[in-house]
Amino acid sequence: MSSAPDTGAPDAGVPVLSGRQHITKALIAALWTYGGRGTGLLWTASLIGQVGVGAYGQYAMAYAAGAILSAPLDNPFAVRAIRESEDRFVRERSLRVLIALAMIIPGLLLTPFSYIVWFGLVASGGEMIFSALKSRRLRDGHPDVVQRWDTIRQVSAVVLGGAYLYLAPDPSLTIASILFVIPYLVVAVLAVWTIRGDRPQFPGPPKIAAVLFGENLAVALYLQGDVLLLGFLTDSTTVGYYSIAVVCAWALAQVGAALGSTYHEKLRDGDGRVSSGPPMRHTVILAAAAGSVLFAAGFVALFLPVATEIAAAMMIMSLFVCLRVVIFVDTVILSMQRRDIVRSSAYAIVVVIKLAMVAGLVWAGAVGAAIATVIADIILLTVFTIALRRPVADPITTADPIAGGGTDDAVSQSDDEKGPTRR
């Protein structure tokens, strides 16, 4: 498995992997993810220590603003990249790169005028164009390579920006941030080279693109809304306690996303049938192992000089880790079955329930928010499980509707009108 730059062509002669090999690739991918997250924490600490909390607040706001803009825009491309035909994949990837460039270039031009605007545009556009470059490897079922590239990019950025922060006599946030985004500019050059000669294409019918756009907005609220609401109803200390548990939980749960992505090719070739995805036994084993790690950490924290609220929240969130690993795998399968409306509707409904529970349990602080999060994921997993047991459409067509060949997405049909199940 090579980590050489993407040539834009699919892997040839990819060997069939055993279940154990799939788990190994998923674990390797997760380890690379954790390496990147650890480097990100060092960057955060460096910014706070060298340019101050206020400057870091500007950085965080810029990153958040950019993510709100780019994540929904990128989601239709990201979802379709793993399931569409080769021709559609390369054409949609071309437009994905062009949209990212349309964010990066104006962002660079705005550097002297507004930090939040320029950095938000460049960083989010950089992430989008990097995702486009990585999409070939992810499509071919190599999350370990994708996460390795992520970590290399992150480490390179932190080394460049961090060296300036510690070596400059009077470092500034703007110069540190410019150095931090240089790896994105290198990625942009590689991505433009990759799409040369590919005709851009919109990611599916407008209805499907709108669904995928809306889904990402709902997911963003699901991921961040509880933290914001808890901060509004309580105080920063309580939010800090809860955030520690949440960050640890999401990091551990990433192994589920990694496992699901190793089955992209098998699921695509198997028309999204559940039998083409990860065996339930493997998913449950990884879920239990990941959840046990957080529970053990929370239990140990009970005997350390830290707030009991943190330890309790971590132990409760260990259940969330178990649930989320399975949800990540189910999300991959539902995506391959083109059940985008099911996923987006589920998140849109459950996020309302989740936020209502956070508000109702606010008296319990971080522990109450953790309980609300676990209950919300139980509901979400139940919805996904029911959806996977229901009939879906006839075998997925890859015909181009513009050329007169069938529908672009099975999700354009009513869920009640689906054909035989793909389980």
Q: Is residue 320 part of a domain?
A: yes
Cα–Cα nearest to 280, from 319, 321, 330, 317: 330
Q: How much is the pLDDT for 395?
A: 43
Residues 193 and 246 in one domain: no
Owning domain of residue 228 = 214-393+414-423
CA 238 to CA 306: how far, in whole Å? Answer: 13
Cα–Cα nearest to 99, from 180, 191, 179, 8: 191
Picking from 193-202, 279-288, 320-329, 402-411, which range would have the lowest pLDDT averaged per residue?
402-411
CA 46 to CA 357: how far, in whole Å? Answer: 36
Looking at the predicted structure, is the pLDDT value of residue 181 above 70?
yes
**Alpha helices (H) along 82-199:** 86-109, 115-139, 143-167, 173-194
- Listed residues 145, 171, 204: the one ending a domain: 204
Q: Is residue 295 part of a domain?
A: yes
Residues 137 and 258 in one domain: no
Q: How much is the pLDDT for 275?
A: 59
Q: How much is the pLDDT for 110?
A: 92
Q: Is residue 401 part of a domain?
A: no
Report how far apart the first and last C-alpha atoms of the chain are (Å, whole number): 30
Residues 181 and 228 in one domain: no
- Listed residues 204, 223, 246: the one ending a domain: 204
Residues 339 and 380 in one domain: yes
Q: How much is the pLDDT for 225?
A: 75
Looking at the predicted structure, is the pLDDT value of residue 75 above 60?
yes
CA 138 to CA 332: how far, in whole Å? Answer: 12
Residues 232 and 342 in one domain: yes
Looking at the predicted structure, is the pLDDT value of residue 299 above 80?
yes
Residues 225 and 179 in one domain: no
Q: Is residue 117 part of a domain?
A: yes
Q: How much is the pLDDT for 397?
A: 39
Residues 189 and 282 in one domain: no
Question: pTM for this structure?
Answer: 0.59
Q: How much is the pLDDT for 217?
A: 77
Residues 157 and 220 in one domain: no
Domain count, the chain: 2
CA 29 to CA 33: how far, in whole Å? Answer: 6
Q: How much is the pLDDT for 268?
A: 66
Residues 173 and 61 in one domain: yes
* Mean per-residue pLDDT, 150-179: 90
